[in-house]
A and B are shown apart, each in its own frame.
Chain A
C-alpha cells in the first residue's frame, strides 16, 4: 500500500521527461528521488499526485490507481510542491484553517501529527505567509500538507534554497513523521541528503540510474577511490588526466577523487609522477566512495 510505478513515461513536445520509470515504495518507507534539475523529479510527483496523466505505464498510490481513482488519491495524500504555493496574503493560522476545511477536517482533529512542527511557527501565527522566512514557510507548507493525516506524503525538493540549520531540522521532522506510519517520497538535488533516506532512486535525464539503500549503493562502487591534494589544485587535475592509468578524476571539495584502471595502484608511483610534473604538498590517501561518485559513474555510462 505504498507507491508503485510500472513503466511510466511522459514526454512534452517530443522531449522525454521521464522514460519507463519503474519502482516501488514500501508502506512506511522514507524514499528519496535524487537527481539534478531536469531529471524528471517534478513530472514524476505530478503524475503520482494525479495532476498529470502519464503517456504510458501504470502507477498506484496507497493501493489506488492514479487515473481511475484520482479523486480518492487526492483525499489521502499530502503534496508539498517545490515552489511555495500557500496563500501569501493569508496568515499562518488562516492558511492552516483553509487547508483543513478543504479536506473536511479541523486543526484540532489531527493536531498531534503536526504539533512538533506547528509549535515552531505558532509564535508567528498571525503573520502573513508571504512575510515568513524560508525556513518558516517550509514548516508551514509541511503542516498544511499534513493537516488531513495523509497516508502518503510527497515532498518535491523541500530543502532547495534552505540553509543547513533549517535543512537539518527538516530531515529530523521527516524521521519523526515516518514513525507515525506515513509513507514519504521526497526529492532532492543534493546528493548528501541521500544518506538520510531508507532507499533512494538516483535519477538523471528522465531515467532511473539505480535504486537501493544508500549504504548498498555506495558498497557496489567497483573501484578504490583515492583522494589527492596538492598546492596547485587546477594543475593537479590536468596532470592526473595525462596519467596513463587514469580511469576518472573529478574535483571533490578541497581534494580531487581519482580512480585507476588497475586494481593495484602503487601510491609511490603516482606520487613520483605528480612530483615529476612539478606539483608540491602532495597528499594521496584512500577514501570511501560517496553517492556522488556512484552517480557520476552511472551517469557517464
Chain B
C-alpha cells in the first residue's frame, strides 16, 4: 500500500445563494484507504460528493481526485473513478454478461478486455450458472456484489459507494465487506457515503459532516474514545444534536 493521497481537499466550499451547503472542508484520503463520509440528511454530504466526482463546480477552495483537478479536469475524474449505489445499479432486463459488456463499453474498454474481465469475474464470483441469466431474476445480494464488480471494471483508483449494503442480509453484507477489503488491499481507495453508522464502523477512517462542516474525522475507534461512546451511532448523535437543523 503506497502512502500517496488519492483525494486531496482544501477549504472546499459550495454556496447556493447565501446558503453555505459545504463550508470550507479539508481532508485527504490515501490509496487503499476505506474512508467513510458521514452526515445527516441535509448536512452537505451529497453536495460535497458531487464536487468530488466532477458534476458540480465548487464555489471556492481546491480539490484533486485521482490526481485530477475538480475545476478543470472533470472528464478525467469521471474516467478514473467507479460509482455504485442502490439507486444506480445494473439493468434488470439485461443478463449478467450483457450488463458487464454494456458498462465495459461505457468505460471505453476494448472488446477483448471486456471478454477477459468477464472470464475473471466468472471465476472469482463463481458466476458459471448465472452469467446468462437476467439480472432482475437474481437475489439482491448477488446484484450488489455484481454491481460492485462492475464499478471496478475499468480499474479505477477510487470507487464511490453510496450506502452499499442497505437492506442486505447480514451474511451477504459481510461477504460484500470482504470484497471491499480485498479491493482496498489491492490499492483501490474506497469512499463510502452512508448514514448508517454500523456501515461506518467498517471503515478505516470516517469524517462526520454537520451543517456543511466536517466536525470530526478519525479512526472509528479513536472517535469512540474521544466522545466516550460505545459505537459510532452515539458519536454521531452527540455531534448532530448540538446543531439540529431539520
Contacts and interface: CB of A to CB of B under 8 A. Distances in A.
A162 B233 CA distance: 13
Contacts of A253: 198, 201-202, 220
A34 to B, nearest CB: 10
A224 interface: no
A204 B169 contact: yes
Contact of A163 (B41, B202, B221): B41
B76 interface: no
A189 interface: yes
A32 B182 CA distance: 35
Interface of A: 35-39, 133-136, 160-166, 168, 189-192, 204, 233-235, 237, 250-254, 292, 295-296, 299-300
B40 interface: yes
Interface string B188-209: 0000000111100110000000
Q: Give 5 closest A-B pairs by Cβ, nearest first.
A: A253-B201, A234-B181, A36-B169, A37-B167, A163-B40
B92 to A, nearest CB: 15
Interface residues of B, number: 36
B174 interface: yes
Interface of B: 39-42, 139-140, 166-172, 174, 177-178, 181-182, 184-185, 195-198, 201-202, 219-221, 233, 236-237, 240-241, 244, 246
A191 B197 CA distance: 12
A165 B244 contact: yes
A135 B40 CA distance: 10
A165 B170 CA distance: 23
Contacts, number: 95
A166 B166 CA distance: 17
B41 A36 contact: no
Contacts of B244: 165
B202 A160 contact: no
Nearest to A293: B170
A299 B170 CA distance: 9
B184 A133 contact: no
Pick the most buried of B174, B177, B237, B246: most chain A CB atoms within 10 A of its CB: B246
16 contacts: A36-B172, A39-B169, A136-B246, A161-B166, A162-B41, A162-B195, A164-B195, A164-B240, A165-B40, A234-B178, A237-B181, A251-B177, A253-B201, A254-B201, A254-B202, A299-B171
Contacts of B170: 36, 191, 250, 292, 295-296, 299
